[in-house]
């Protein structure tokens, strides 16, 4: 039954029989047969029939929601049994916001050093994608902003480990007349390149600039920090990044990182966002002990 539920989940995600079969490592006829067998077992039609994938029926959508929970708990049980039998092992899957990628190693290296049998998979996702992947049980935890709405309508305090409050820095080309620090109100004279508006970090920056009376229309927008850094090459061209990230990317370059003081507090707390307690694996629990 579990393998057939996984086929249904893959089909709903891929919206294509061939890609779903490939994701499940089976042939397309095998996947189709598995879906039909699941329908016969449940006594309802799950997939709208057509020459190609159209969508799920109303009953199919209901089964899909339950299937995700069942499959996630089955995977967690399988992982926990393997840990009990073989010791801590397996792959920990983390979704990480782009602005935290440069410092994630501070949190993961001690865990990897303590558990040689563990592997790590890190995926760069924005804050909303992290919530979606957690809801879909496609990652074990997400490094994101605590202020973002959390999934499954449960209190954030039950599903987050607070880590630190972000501070920010202006990254621009180095020159002798740069100040030691800046206020948000001082940034109006720079031609800024910023992350795209789908990024929570950009929304935090926009909030701080707006509170300081600065209206910004970035000349460059990108979802890539590397792309922004590559354009900081001339006087008065700059980007705004979390201080940790800015220091990482500016190392060894002719760039200056100028701390930005003030700003709105409490909106940029970085945290590990977690699934409900009942769906956490022993692998995730062991990892959380190293960061809490």
Tens-place pLDDT, residues 201-211: 999 999 999 99
Tens-place pLDDT, residues 42-84: 999 999 987 788 889 999 999 988 888 788 777 777 777 766 6
Give the whole-angstrom CA distance, residue 163 versus residue 279.
22
Contacts of the segment 113-120: beta carbons below 8 A, 24+ positions apart: 114/290, 115/88, 115/89, 115/286, 117/86, 117/87, 117/88, 117/89, 117/90, 118/88, 118/89, 118/90, 118/91, 118/92, 118/283, 119/90, 119/91, 119/92, 120/91, 120/92, 120/94
Give the whole-angstrom CA distance, residue 47 versus residue 278.
30
Confidence band, pLDDT 50/70/90 cuts, at residue 99: very high
Query: Quick one: which H or E segment has residue 62?
Result: helix 58-86
Question: Residues near 112 by Cβ (< 8 Å), separated by ≥ 6?
Answer: 118, 120
Tens-place pLDDT, residues 175-203: 888 899 999 999 988 899 999 999 999 99
Per the CB < 8 A criterion, the answer to whether 272 and 161 are in contact is: yes
| Residue 166: per-residue pLDDT | 92
Contacts of the segment 153-156: beta carbons below 8 A, 24+ positions apart: 154/276, 156/273
Nearest to residue 127, comparing CAs of 291, 30, 272, 234?
272
Would the pLDDT of 225 be above 90?
Answer: yes
Per the CB < 8 A criterion, the answer to whether 271 and 161 are in contact is: yes
> 280 — phi, psi (to 5°)?
-95, 140
Nearest to residue 243, comparing CAs of 128, 164, 126?
164
């Amino acid at each position: 039954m579990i393998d057939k539920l996984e086929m249904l989940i893959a089909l709903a995600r891929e919206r294509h029989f061939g890609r779903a079969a490939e994701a499940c490592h089976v042939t397309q006829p095998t996947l189709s047969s598995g879906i039909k067998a699941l329908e016969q077992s449940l006594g309802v039609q799950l997939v709208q029939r057509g020459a190609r994938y159209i969508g799920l029926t109303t009953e199919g959508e209901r089964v899909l929601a339950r299937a995700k929970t069942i499959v996630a708990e089955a995977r967690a049980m399988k992982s926990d049994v393997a840990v009990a039998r073989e010791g801590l092992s397996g792959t920990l899957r983390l979704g990480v916001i782009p602005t935290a990628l440069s410092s994630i190693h501070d949190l993961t290296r001690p865990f990897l050093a303590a558990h040689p049998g563990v592997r790590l998979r890190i995926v760069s996702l924005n804050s909303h994608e992290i919530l979606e992947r957690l809801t879909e049980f496609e990652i074990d935890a997400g490094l994101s902003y605590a202020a973002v709405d959390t999934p499954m309508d449960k209190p954030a305090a039950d599903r987050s480990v607070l880590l630190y409050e972000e501070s920010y820095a202006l990254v621009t080309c180095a020159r002798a007349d740069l100040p030691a620090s800046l206020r948000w109100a001082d940034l109006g004279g720079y031609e800024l390149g910023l992350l795209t508006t789908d990024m929570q970090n950009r929304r935090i920056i926009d909030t701080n600039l707006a509170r300081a009376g600065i209206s910004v229309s970035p000349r460059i927008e990108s979802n890539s920090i590397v792309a922004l850094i590559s354009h900081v090459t001339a006087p008065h061209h700059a980007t705004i990044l979390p201080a940790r990230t800015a220091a990482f990317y500016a190392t060894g370059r002719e760039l200056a990182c100028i701390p930005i003081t003030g700003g709105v507090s409490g909106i940029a707390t970085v945290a590990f966002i977690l699934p409900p307690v009942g769906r956490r694996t022993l692998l995730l629990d062991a990892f959380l002990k190293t960061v809490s």
